Amino acid sequence: MAQLGYKNEIIDNFVSEFKSRIVAETGIPSDKDHLGKIILQSLKDDPDFVLQIDGGTGEAETNGSMLRRSIQCATSFRNQGLKTGDTIVLMAPNHLDQAVPFNASLYLGIAIAAIDRFLGVNELKHAFNIIKPKIVFCQSEKVQDVQKAVAILNLDSKVISFDTSADTISFSEMLKLHSDEIDVENFKPADFDPEDTIAVLISTSGTTGLPKSAALTHMNLAINGLMICSFATKLPPTRAAIIVSPLQWLSGLLHYIFSSLFKYTRVKSSRPLTTEHVLEMIGKYKPTFMVASPTMMTTILNAGKKANSDFSCFEVIYLGGSAVPKTLVEELRIMAPNAFVTDIYGMSEVGSTSFQGVNYPIGSCGKPLAHLQYKLVNVETGEEIKEPNKCGELWLKCPGGFKGYYNNPEATAEVLSKDGWFMTGDLMYRDEEWNFFFVERIKLLLKYRNHQISPVELETVIRQHPGVLDVAVTSLPDEECGDLPVACVIPRLGANLTETEIIDLVKEKLTDTKQLRGGVIFLKELPLTTSTKVHRRKLKEIAISRLR
């Protein structure tokens, strides 16, 4: 698919110059994509810079402190026999310690798998059976569950608690064991090929089946991940980013990697991220950058209105992870008048945003990026769609290619074409100006008799009702008809919404095959995954239990 790809010259020039310094020092050309060496040099360049703040405790940490602690951790890893190609697991809140083994692993070419810290023994067993971690870092309340899962699988995995635990060694104790061996100036990261060495394993597709771990290499992230700051018009691109997602979500992970390179502060919290706590951190630390799901942002926005919160500190707000209502973007632009508010499209398997993040119409994902290849493919015929305004599945190619799902060749084969294209599973179309528009996840399409129904289309119509705060559409299974659409609606405070109003609105706007034959239910909140996307499987379970 021929098109001109977008480049941000400010970011490109800065990163090229920075990477050239690393290669000039090591003499290894591929080191330009070695995330460990990139982070290490970034920390050395400005040791007094405040890298991260824990909004839950008020503690802060500088580059210099992170440099010493992460080298101490990497030394400990080496002394414990860990090497390039091994894996570790991180399952913790966003406290200051979590970044230490994260950075240390990148120095040595150890793959990092951040997973949901609330998983039970059976879920941990599934995850560990795929990941095969050498060390699992967790909180004390999860130590016994982790140990049980490790024992069931007969793995030789060490369990280390970030806080104090009677059942195992603590993280601080692990570091103290090697405190006398620290040589910050002379520490050498491991040498390896960034194109082949896995940096992170990202859990994906956990709402429709068992999670898979997308394997992203150092090269994938060193090139694609930079696009988290594609909005940059200056350096540093932004002053401080508030992190409202766990490390296992792509946006949180990218902040951990690139905030040191781009010199912006990570504002995060070890406390539960209640709406009140998020608003408290916004008021106190005045962050300039935020990435959030539409559902989470809707909740924050409405709570902010009630509390008369000031969002004028924001320069950039990214919304992604699911379809973004136009009304949400418009309301945010009023509440955050100084912010560039935009809908972003990203994939865990690509390792970043997949389209240009600036200057495109509301409702679009953006225009193509220079370092990615794109095509739209007819789902029925497999032929490439070259004309504008025709819908097809988006296929992508990224630098270094997608390495697949870790220890899961069957799942990998389902998403990679024979010639290496990643088949996203997302239906899109483009206009004449090469703006791409998301239509629907193929797997989420509902099928009523011989007709396909897009939950996003129904949700867009229902949100037009002034009494609707948020909505997600699921379905009831029917042996004869297939899927019967159900609207799960959160009313605005004080709204006197009825089922009939919602059903009549859909009748007025959409064809007969797209009607709410399953009904309407009213909820106080939508079930969310740990990455704050709507949990479609749980939503369906709620609908079935309420309506059957």
Average pLDDT, rounded, for the chain: 91
Read off the pLDDT of residues 302-353 as tens digits, 9 standing for 90 and up: 999 999 999 999 999 999 877 788 888 889 999 999 999 988 888 889 888 8
pLDDT at 225 over 80: yes
Looking at residue 1, its pLDDT comes to 54
Read off the pLDDT of residues 103-136 as tens digits, 9 standing for 90 and up: 999 999 999 999 989 888 988 998 999 999 999 9
Looking at residue 206, its pLDDT comes to 44
Assigned CATH topology for domain 9-335:
Rossmann fold (3.40.50)
Give the pairing type, strands 316-319 and 340-343: parallel
Q: How far apart, in whole angstroms, are the C-alpha atoms of residue 23 and residue 35?
A: 13
Looking at residue 205, its pLDDT comes to 55
Alpha-carbon distances of 460 from 443, 470, 473, rounded to whole Å: 19, 10, 10
Please choose, from the candidates 53, 452, 461, the residue with its C-alpha nearest in 3D space to the C-alpha of residue 284: 53
Assigned CATH topology for domain 445-547:
GMP Synthetase; Chain A, domain 3 (3.30.300)
Read off the pLDDT of residues 359-391 as tens digits, 9 standing for 90 and up: 778 778 889 999 999 999 998 888 999 999 999
pTM comes to: 0.84
Strands annotated E in 256-306: 265-268, 289-292
Read off the pLDDT of residues 31-89 as tens digits, 9 standing for 90 and up: 999 999 999 999 999 999 999 999 999 999 999 999 999 999 999 999 999 999 999 99
pLDDT at 209 over 80: no
The structure tokens listed for 158 are 């060490």
- Domain residue ranges of the chain, discontinuous segments joined by +: 9-335, 445-547
Max mean pLDDT range (292-296, 397-401, 526-530): 397-401
Looking at residue 515, its pLDDT comes to 94
Q: How far apart, in whole angstroms, are the C-alpha atoms of residue 290 and residue 245?
A: 10
Question: What average pLDDT does the segment 2-6 reach?
Answer: 66
